[in-house]
Structure 1
Amino acid sequence: MILSCPCNAVQIRLSADPISHFWCHCADCQTVHGAAYVAEAIYPADGVELVSGDTTTFTLKRTPRVNCAKCSTRVLIELPEIGMRSVSGYLLKEAFAPTLHIHCSSAVAPVKDGLPHYANMPAAFGGDDKLVDW
């Protein structure tokens, strides 16, 4: 699957199945995106390839975010410490299929949608599996 930023200057090839699609409510995502929560899709790092386009990288605290140099859309996040890359779920459009919410302890706009809402992260992501009840 090939994904493009809105201006089509950057293209990414996905060659692996996603590990997870989710909504992130962390303070970093809120600050960087100016949004209450963002769509994320995690893949094995070797399953996400930057095919073309110029990018810039920005790190707010600790997570390097890769953006299109032309339209500034965030296209992916580098997660080398866990061998993964996170692709903006917004680039997936109708293929984005979230199954959970993470970092809900930082949420500014709680969402009631029937999905599990983790205070931090599920155990499978290195978290404690603690849920919040909205």
Structure 2
Amino acid sequence: MSLATDAHTESQTKTGPHSSIHHTPPEDHTHQADKKSIPDTGWRGSPPIPSSDGGDSEKDWMSKPPYNWSPARGPDGEELFKTKYESSCWCGAVRFAFAGDPFDAKHCHCRQCQRLHGAPFQWAAIFPKTSVRILQDNSGALHCFSTTTKQAGHHVPCKVSCDICRAPLFDEGKRMVLAYPSGFKFPPIKARLNFQPSCHIFYGHRVMEVCDGIPKWRGHKNDSELMQEMSDVVGIMPRCKGYDDKPHA
């Protein structure tokens, strides 16, 4: 799953001294998100999934998921939205609550993620929009940037960040939110296991090799070929400095 809108060209791979190092493909490549139903967290407004058509047609988007909305209550009077995680920007001006665990998580190596995050790849955990709500927006610090229009503003898909410290928070897609785990305040360490990526996508665009044993897709998950973890692709950062082009035992 990716919010990238630019074209992804194919990268060429050739065999080399590390080509024998393979990841282990899973037996079932079906998207985890596609196999799970969206939990009822108390959204009773319209549409069922806000901004699912994309663009800027939702004029009252700020009062709908994943932003400033009020969940319904169950028969016992308690809110159906049960906060399990919280995230915030670096300065704390913007905070979000998340109900339940992510459907899936991934590392994206597309050029767009590399440039917008200033990092070799993006780490994102996928939540339904209705499992996310804003807790705090001091001084109107919430900032949206459209990767389609290349302008500031809520035009889905868009990237959400803090306008004060500039820390990224999540990507809003048409159906899901791709949240950045580095901004989460985790409870006990075991909870982080739910945020571990199931795959790498757009690995054909990588600028460094990652030997973690999980599937590496050349492009989108389930819609491209699986790749080896290491190869002799020209321009790819080697495993360590001082690499001498000789096979390692």
CA distance in 2, matches of 1:43, 1:61: 22
TM-score w.r.t. structure 1 length? 0.86
Which of the two has higher C-alpha Rg?
A: 2
Pick from 108, 113, 126 the counterpart of residue 24 of structure 1: 108
Identity of aligned residues (%): 28
CA distance in 2, matches of 1:104, 1:50: 32
Task: Note the alpha carbon deviations across 1:84-112, whole angstroms, 9 max, x for none.
Answer: 01101212366232221111111111211
Does the CA-based 8 Å contact 1:67-1:73 persist in structure 2? yes
1:132 matched to 2:227? The reply is yes
Unaligned runs of 5+ in 2: 1-84, 150-156, 231-249
Alignment of structure 1 residues 1-134 onto 2, 5 Å? 1-53=85-137, 54-61=141-148, 63-80=157-174, 83-92=175-184, 95=192, 96-123=195-222, 128-133=223-228, 134=230
Runs (4+) of structure 1 exceeding 3 A deviation are: 60-63
Residue identity in the other structure for 2:92: N
Residue identity in the other structure for 2:226: L
- Going by fraction, where is strand more abundant, 1 or 2? 1
CA distance in 2, matches of 1:38, 1:65: 12
Tell me the CA shift for residue 17 of structure 1. Answer: 2.1
Tell me the CA shift for residue 129 of structure 1. Answer: 4.7
CA distance in 2, matches of 1:103, 1:31: 14
- Which of 40-49 and 96-105 deviates more? 96-105
SS at match of 2:177: strand
CA distance in 1, matches of 2:114, 2:164: 22
Task: Note the alpha carbon deviations across 1:66-94, whole angstroms, 9 max, x for none.
Answer: 111111111011101xx101101212366
Tell me the CA shift for residue 2 of structure 1. Answer: 1.4
What is the Cα-based RMSD across aligned positions, in Å? Answer: 1.7
- Which of 102-111 and 90-99 deviates more? 90-99
Does the CA-based 8 Å contact 1:41-1:86 persist in structure 2? yes
SS at match of 2:100: coil
Unaligned runs of 5+ in 1: none
